[in-house]
A and B are shown apart, each in its own frame.
Chain A
Amino acid sequence: MSYHTLQHLTVRLLFDEKFVKFVYEDPDSALLGLDLSKEEKAQLLAIDSRAWSYDSLRRLRTMRSLVEEFKASTTLVLAETRQLAFLDKFFSSPQFHDSIQKRGSMGLAFAEYLSEKFRQKELKTPQLADVLRLESLMARCRREFQKIRVTPLPKTLKDDLRIKFVPGADVGAFQANTVLTIQKIEKYLFEVNLMPAMVLCDDAPRLMDLPAVETKKKSYLMCVPAANGVSLIDIEKSDYLVLIEARSSLTIHQAIERAMASGITKSIAQEIIARALEEQTLHLV
């Protein structure tokens, strides 16, 4: 219904002064494609444009929650750009506006914003790519996590049974030093948090000597639902190759066949699937 469109639009206006200017100067272009009635457009434009910017700290407050979730990535970005504005521009980005108008996730849109900046080479810190991918994996899992009733396992697992990750579980492959890089960043943030004003000093600690990007070696990680959100665990390459197939529902037979195509033996694939079902990383669907 169009009043939902109007409600989403108000959020965009409350966050983005540039967008406010665009809407008031050229409403036909700014509101093009939105399901709004003439009356709704008129109501919107009847509001004093200055009213939208009453909360000058809204962007900073919201950025704080994004930074909490993408702690390592945003630290790398700020270390490289030395500009808060780089992060702040997210609120005027197509990713932000699209996520609000389509009732999406602002956190995941923020990850996409940074990712695109890296792809476009506006960000160049080599460690950023995988750090951001790992933080995005966790952010996605947090959002997908939901309590479900897991179907009890039968005594014998027939290979025509369908399996899938439980909501909030997933796997990823990252350059081998990704976790080490995040740990280094966390240590740095811990130090500056002891006395935040120290960042104003020329001799304040800087984020330096990050572990090099390991181009040949990889680490394999699994995100699993935990009591307070999600947690990460190290897994073997074979686990990764078998489990990644369970991102979408498939039969055990199909999962084993695909794993065998990646060089995993049938018995190892069976064992990995059985263990993941027992540990409720996978479930029967």
Chain B
Amino acid sequence: MTKFFDKIAKIPRLGVGISGEFGSANKGIEACLLQENYPELVHFFEYGGDLDRGLDEHVRRWASTGLPTTYHFLDINIEERIDLTSDWLVETIEMAKEINATWLCGDAGRWHFGRRERGHQMLMPPILCMDSVLESVDNIRQIQEQSALCCLPENPPSVVYLGEMHILEYFAEIAERADCGILLDCAHLAIFQHSRNLAPLTGFDNFPFERVIEMHIAGGVLKETNGYQYIDDDHSPEPLESTWQILKYVIERAKNLRAIVYECEHNAAEECLDNFIKLNEMFPCKIETPKLTVK
């Protein structure tokens, strides 16, 4: 058994969670409030953070309840060795530990072009080639070593993907070589398959399902630019049919799956409740609520 499987064996199932980032609770769904009202539907909070904005009051409030959190980075180019600076590592680990994050995760490609500075933010997928795999592996290993937390790379969304590999092959290679888990974003995978005219479940042969620890699901919409059709990852309430299809297929096979995040925080809570119920049916989580003691 590798170090990763040792670690993951000790991590309990987190259940179904909701995402958020700096200030998102002020504009969309407030995770704390949703959890208070629907404790059976929302079990953990995934905070999307970057060094520039840090932690917000809302995630600190969630963390203070003792309910689980995960830390999703929004500012590191995993496929670029030069981008992983010691400052980034130290400060990110500090933030993740401050909210008692169970693990680190995030889109593994590029969150910015060039150096990390204002105006450079733009999420781009990795170039799907072996050189990029190897550089990503180095960075993930270093993050895992220094943080002592699992680091789960996520397949990013895009309209354009370059490189000769299928995105599932790319992430399978990373996971095996870095001895890490995978965050499989079903909506992003549906986008990738559409961009290459592939069926939603293409590429799962030889895929290490046992390394899928977390999954994301979110709404998307088919758009067109100058007659060119693509799926926009707009995080609207309703996931596409192909996204559901991927989720169902992988849940049945990912025996170490610990968490599913419904990325819906920009919508109204009532638009998302049905899908929270559906996700909990597909991936039930029995959480022991802390018992009140009266002196």
A interface with B by C-beta (< 8 Å): 1-4, 6-8, 10-11, 14, 39-40, 43-44, 47-48, 50-54, 56, 58, 62, 65-66, 68-69, 99-100, 103-107, 143, 146-147
Contact = CB atoms under 8 A, between A and B. Distances in A.
A107 B114 contact: no
B170 to A, nearest CB: 12
B163 interface: yes
Contacts of A147: 87
B80 A4 contact: yes
B117 interface: yes
Interface string B63-85: 00000000000000001100000
Contacts of A143: 115, 117
Interface stretch (B179-187, B221-229, B235-243): B221-229
B11 interface: no
B160 interface: yes
Size category, B interface:
20 to 34
Given A54-B228, A54-B230, A3 B127 contact: yes
Given A4-B80, A43-B162, A146-B87, 14 more contacts: A3-B163, A7-B110, A11-B122, A39-B164, A40-B162, A50-B225, A50-B226, A51-B230, A52-B160, A54-B230, A56-B225, A103-B113, A105-B117, A106-B119
B27 interface: no
A48 B164 CA distance: 16
A53 B118 contact: no
Per DSSP, chain A at the interface is helix
B119 A107 contact: yes
B124 A51 contact: no
Contacts of A100: 113-114
Interface in B82-109: 87
A10 B160 contact: yes
Interface in B146-173: 159-160, 162-164
Given A14-B122, A51-B228, A51-B230, A3 B132 contact: yes
A256 to B, nearest CB: 35
Contacts, number: 82
A137 to B, nearest CB: 16
B160 A51 contact: yes
A54 B159 contact: yes
Nearest to A63: B119
24 contacts: A2-B131, A3-B132, A6-B127, A7-B79, A7-B127, A10-B124, A10-B162, A43-B164, A48-B228, A51-B228, A52-B160, A53-B225, A54-B159, A54-B225, A56-B225, A58-B122, A65-B118, A66-B119, A100-B114, A103-B113, A106-B117, A106-B120, A143-B117, A146-B87
Contacts of B160: 10, 14, 47, 51-52
Contacts of B164: 39, 43
Contacts of A1: 131, 135
B84 to A, nearest CB: 14
B251 interface: no
The 8 A-B residue pairs with the shortest CB-CB distance in the complex, in nearest-first order: A65-B119, A50-B228, A3-B127, A50-B226, A54-B225, A11-B113, A103-B114, A54-B159
B117 A44 contact: no
B250 interface: no
Contacts of A47: 160, 162
A99 B114 contact: yes
* Listed residue (B80, B115, B120, B164) with the most chain A CB atoms within 10 angstroms of its CB: B120
B272 interface: no
B129 interface: yes
Contact of B227 (A2, A50, A52): A50
B221 to A, nearest CB: 13
